[in-house]
Structure 1
């Protein structure tokens, strides 16, 4: 139980610290706006320097594909369009439960606008209990709980692609209504960098296969990142601040990783800057992400992004290269994204509903283990029950 009286005595100091940080943030923002003007005048030179010295930089900066200050008004979404989304949740394995297993539940959504068609809202649960599901990842030193979350990412991509492609391109039919597949969060899976090669391939390959089916069916897809903490676009502003003739971080700043001469606007985030640059319904310039893991994605699936003023916030919208290079598909994707945010009162309705379908509530968890317990008893297993620790926690007398 929280002692609110003790917490209240700490609040004034916290408020003063927040006020100081707000002033510093305002100063960083002003500096960033000045740097934008400098970069805009000589952008090609900085892009050339980034490309030439990329292997000797101590930071990762996204590369602008257009004038870095460019703003584009997104057209209104067509009246007739379809949206697809999938999201997942899980019950993690625990040695304190009646059985060591885990469950992944994928919620899938298909919404049609202006077409007089019924939506699809359902879930696809799957329980994992076999030895290969529970212990195969340990040969790579990966805990089962971690592996479960990676498998959930794969399942979300596969379910989304299967649903969208089956609807858009059924046998013997032709479907030309504008559409969009939406995913919650970033399309850049940084966690893959730490995985052994075999484990990485087992996760990434089916995801890329699902994405390829979307590309072949010409269904654009985006990753919608709300409240993004990324600084990859702002990091490009570090190039004009470099005091050396060449931005060779390894040679000049190798011993000062946490305090280099070009760190003048940290920890300002991309969204803080573009909040002051974009009007509602406008997007920023398109950037190419340079995260190392993207080298494994293939050129067609290399991730690009832009910042989009959706009214309630500045969202980071990510998409593959083949969408970025097709102006019609890009506008279609962003216009439908804006429409989804409007319909969802600040957040894409398809993403919100897919999440709500997927989430496993406490009552769902209880019923799941009750059903499992019933099956174990029928199978003749004796002494079915949770550990003493778990039983004690559930029956506290405090």
Structure 2
């Protein structure tokens, strides 16, 4: 049990440090706003530099595809519409349990607004126990727990696409959105070998192909975003070199000592909180994440939307972001969702609630598994002594 009394002194020092950092952040934000104003008039030149020297940058830099000063006011949708969302949770494998396996649970939500139709709220669990499910990823140096998380990402996207295709076949005229909790730029896939990635990414892209074919807008909602892709674009404005070749000019310096680092570490959301009013949307940006080289036609764009309670990052594939009708439809539904959810989209919150696996769920899962193993004739089924001892206490 945590001894809170012993933490009190540390908390005071922590609060003083945070207050100091807050003042430094304000100073950097003032500087960034000035640089942003300068970049507006110099945008074309900066974009040319970005295209020519991107492979020489030591930071990841997105590129604006609309004028930096173009801020759009979004109105929440009021007409009948449908919101579809999925989210996932899991039971991780443990060698201390009665069997080494894992479970992925996908929560599904379909809410039909202003239609009188009862919403869909359910979940689809799947247990993985075969050798190829548990140990196949070891050949690529990927642990089972990490592979399970990656498989869950795929399952969320596939379930969302299947739900959307089924829904639009029944309600073909209703505006809708396929809503994902989190990023559509799957940075984590860039960290695994290409052979492993080939077992995952094609299923995601195939699911997105199905959404595109039916013109169902897809959007990923990122709450409290930590990305700095847009603020990194401002580095080009303050780069003192005629050619922004980081590897030539700054490779021997620490990243925070580079001449362009004077506004770092400033996140995109912090900058746009200064520039946007409630209900306003930033211009569109195209992500330049390396993993997107394998996305084909599904290049990812993003914008920042002031939803009232926070600045949210909205990611959309090209066929949604570059289609004026679909993009507007998506943003209007998103803003309405946040308002209905008092700060966070209703459908995403409900999908999470459907997906979450509680401690009691986990115990029941293994109890059912134990019963089935006994029925199959297995004997001496028990948890490890460590797990058994942890479930009781002398305190």
In the superposition, the TM-score normalised over structure 2's length comes to 0.98
User: Distance between the aligned counterparts of 1:159 and 1:139, measured in 2?
Assistant: 28
Deviation at 1:69, TM superposition (A): 2.5
User: Distance between the aligned counterparts of 1:14 and 1:95, measured in 2?
Assistant: 38
1:164-206 C-alpha deviation (Å, 9 max, x unpaired): 1111025xxx712110010000111111112111210111000
1:347-385 C-alpha deviation (Å, 9 max, x unpaired): 000000000000001111111111000011111111111
In the superposition, the TM-score normalised over structure 1's length comes to 0.97
- Which residue of 2 is the match for residue 199 of structure 1? 196
- Which residue of 2 is the match for residue 56 of structure 1? 56
- Which residue of 1 is the match for residue 280 of structure 2? 282
User: Distance between the aligned counterparts of 1:4 and 1:281, measured in 2?
Assistant: 41
The answer to whether the Cα contact below 8 Å between 1:286 and 1:304 also exists between their aligned partners in 2 is yes
User: Distance between the aligned counterparts of 2:288 and 2:5, measured in 1?
Assistant: 48
SS at match of 1:180: strand
1:63-96 C-alpha deviation (Å, 9 max, x unpaired): 0111213210013314110010011100001100
- Which residue of 2 is the match for residue 368 of structure 1? 365
Off by >6 Å, runs of 4+ in structure 1: none
- Which residue of 2 is the match for residue 382 of structure 1? 379
1:14-67 C-alpha deviation (Å, 9 max, x unpaired): 222111111100000000000011100110000001101111111111101112
Of residues 120-129 and 255-264 in structure 1, the stretch that sits farther from structure 2 once superposed is 255-264
Deviation at 1:138, TM superposition (A): 1.2
Is residue 2:333 matched to residue 1:336?
yes
SS at match of 1:108: strand
User: Distance between the aligned counterparts of 2:103 and 2:15, measured in 1?
Assistant: 43
- Which residue of 1 is the match for residue 317 of structure 2? 320
The answer to whether the Cα contact below 8 Å between 2:76 and 2:334 also exists between their aligned partners in 1 is no
The answer to whether the Cα contact below 8 Å between 1:98 and 1:369 also exists between their aligned partners in 2 is yes
User: Distance between the aligned counterparts of 1:10 and 1:137, measured in 2?
Assistant: 42
The answer to whether the Cα contact below 8 Å between 1:280 and 1:311 also exists between their aligned partners in 2 is yes
- Which residue of 2 is the match for residue 226 of structure 1? 223
Deviation at 1:11, TM superposition (A): 2.4
Of residues 66-75 and 355-364 in structure 1, the stretch that sits farther from structure 2 once superposed is 66-75
1:142-178 C-alpha deviation (Å, 9 max, x unpaired): 11111111110111001110011111025xxx71211
Is residue 2:242 matched to residue 1:255?
no
User: Distance between the aligned counterparts of 1:397 and 1:177, measured in 2?
Assistant: 59
The answer to whether the Cα contact below 8 Å between 2:280 and 2:305 also exists between their aligned partners in 1 is yes
Aligned pairs for 1:19-34 (under 5 A) are 19-34=19-34
User: Distance between the aligned counterparts of 1:78 and 1:7, measured in 2?
Assistant: 49
- Which residue of 1 is the match for residue 128 of structure 2? 128
- Which residue of 1 is the match for residue 70 of structure 2? 70
User: Distance between the aligned counterparts of 1:130 and 1:12, measured in 2?
Assistant: 51
Of residues 363-372 and 68-77 in structure 1, the stretch that sits farther from structure 2 once superposed is 68-77
- Which residue of 1 is the match for residue 40 of structure 2? 40
The answer to whether the Cα contact below 8 Å between 1:36 and 1:69 also exists between their aligned partners in 2 is no
1:224-267 C-alpha deviation (Å, 9 max, x unpaired): 00000011100000001111110011111111142211001111
Is residue 2:264 matched to residue 1:266?
yes
User: Distance between the aligned counterparts of 1:194 and 1:23, measured in 2?
Assistant: 35
Deviation at 1:396, TM superposition (A): 2.0
The answer to whether the Cα contact below 8 Å between 1:62 and 1:288 also exists between their aligned partners in 2 is yes
User: Distance between the aligned counterparts of 2:237 and 2:150, measured in 1?
Assistant: 39
Deviation at 1:281, TM superposition (A): 0.8
The answer to whether the Cα contact below 8 Å between 2:75 and 2:335 also exists between their aligned partners in 1 is no
- Which residue of 2 is the match for residue 297 of structure 1? 295
Extract unaligned runs of 5+ from structure 1.
none
User: Distance between the aligned counterparts of 1:126 and 1:11, measured in 2?
Assistant: 43
- Which residue of 1 is the match for residue 167 of structure 2? 167
Of residues 353-362 and 136-145 in structure 1, the stretch that sits farther from structure 2 once superposed is 136-145
Q: How many residues align?
A: 394
1:304-351 C-alpha deviation (Å, 9 max, x unpaired): 000000011000000011111111111100000001111111100000
Is residue 2:82 matched to residue 1:91?
no
* Candidates 241, 246, 264, aligned match of 2:243: 246
- Which residue of 1 is the match for residue 304 of structure 2? 307
